[in-house]
Chains A and B, each alone.
Chain A
Amino acid sequence: MTKQVTFLMCSPRGDKSASYSLGSYVTRLLEEKGIAQQSFKIYQIIKNSQKIDEMIKSIDGSDIIVLSSPLYIDGAPYMTIKLMDIITEKNNQGKLSKKDRLLFANSNAGYLEYYHNNIALRIYEQFAEKNGFTWAGGLPIGAAGTYAMYPIPEFLKMLEPLPEDDPRKEIYEKPTKIIDSVIKTAVDHLSKGERVPESELKKLEFIPMPLQAYVDSGNKNWIDTAESLGAKDKLRDKPYELKK
């Protein structure tokens, strides 16, 4: 019988999100291995009971669940927690049959360091445990906004022709190649019904550029965007300051 994967995309930013870009890359590679995919954009279905039922049916028939989420305030966003609440409730009502299912997660942080995602991934692991899913591991991605702009394959194609001494080789191409390789190995394991080995996921434990360089470019980006929206001079406003 054909294996099946359910993709749970938890970012409200839709197709423009890192969660979509990275999660859909995983599920597309699974599809290439003959695993049928059903995907759900959680922010579109969260209030629609019919769609929720469809999602539960899909999970019920799935061998693999891929949950891809942004990191909000050091943990799972509201939307992702609500999703876990719903799945747990339906599971408790007996809507999920007994079956081996792997849960693989991806958490995307705005900060540069991958490890900000670790708490969220442990929360997803607890969710898996509570629901009888086998925790297959998680991808902690830092500075994930890059992948919201450029999906991995396109990004690598863009970076490839750059001369070897171009700094973007070191700060973008090298880390992206590592993430790409970890994802491909993860997909190999998942497609065989296996967990992704810790040793593989550990390869993501790197910080690709000096913190200050990230701070400087990030801050310039905020100012430029605010300027284009006519809000540059208001960036430091304190609208809720208590009047003494």
Chain B
Amino acid sequence: MSYLILNGMYKDDSFIPKINELVSKELVKRDVKGETIDLHKNAIKPCLGCFKCWIQTPGVCIIDDYAREVAKKMIQADNLIYLTPVHFGGYSSELKKALDRSICLMLPFFRVYKEEIHHETRYDKYPNLIVIGTLEEPNLKQEEIFSELVERNVLNNFAPKHATQIIYHSDDESTVKKKVEEGVRIVGDDND
């Protein structure tokens, strides 16, 4: 069983590193091994929107930079964790610069799934998805958008199991711990 944490914090964030540590510890406790990628420390070029990863070099982005490695690690993990500030209700640009470059993990082909248009899977197995967002303080509107965004992502990235947690800077230590435990609870050994 493995995990990959995509840490989408902005570089001056002092809160997410603490969450990152707690999440990794919790996973290790469950005998899940893996690593964190601190995206802000890695140069990743923006997606060109060219779809060449579908129709010219299928499965691989034409830009040869670290995003290729990230996409590969994403699909090879059993559990994928996004860490990000809740940013206007969505993800940080740091997280998104890598995610936009990961559409090579699905096929270009459309299908009707749950009465909507989605893509076909490229791989036989996709990781579970745990998304942990942080907020200075509760913000109902943004939390709603964020949770819906994760739900939509799950329809498009085929995660067999998923969880969303929002952690406030003002949460006390035990609440943070509980939320982290709750978030990683879906990690079982049935996806090994």
Number of A-B contacts (CB under 8 A): 150
- Residues on B with C-beta less than 8 A from A81 are 87-88, 90-93, 96
Q: Which residue of B lies closest to A126 (CB)?
A: B88
The interface size bin for chain A is 35 or more
Answer whether residue A111 sits at the interface, using C-beta atoms and an 8 A cutoff: yes
A229 touches B92 (CB 8 A): no
User: In terms of DSSP, what is the predominant structure of the interface of chain B?
Assistant: mixed
Interface string of B97-115 (1 = CB under 8 A from A): 1011001010111111001
Give the distance to chain B from A216, nearest Cβ to Cβ, in Å: 9
Q: How large is the interface on B (under 10, 10 to 19, 20 to 34, 35 or more residues)?
A: 35 or more
Whole-angstrom distance between the Cβ of A35 and the nearest chain B Cβ: 27
Nearest chain-A residue to B56 (Cβ)? A229
Q: A residues touching B (Cβ–Cβ < 8 Å)?
A: 11-13, 17, 43, 46, 70, 72-79, 81-82, 84-85, 111-113, 116, 119-120, 122-124, 126-127, 130, 211-212, 214-215, 218-219, 222, 225-226, 229, 231, 234-242
- Interface pairs (30), CB distance under 8 Å: A12-B47, A12-B49, A13-B49, A73-B96, A73-B153, A73-B156, A73-B157, A77-B47, A77-B100, A85-B93, A111-B110, A116-B152, A119-B145, A119-B148, A119-B152, A120-B90, A126-B142, A130-B88, A211-B112, A218-B110, A222-B55, A226-B54, A231-B55, A235-B58, A236-B122, A238-B59, A239-B59, A240-B59, A240-B76, A240-B105
Given contacts A12-B49, A111-B110, 5 further A-B contacts (CB under 8 A): A75-B96, A116-B152, A126-B142, A222-B108, A235-B55
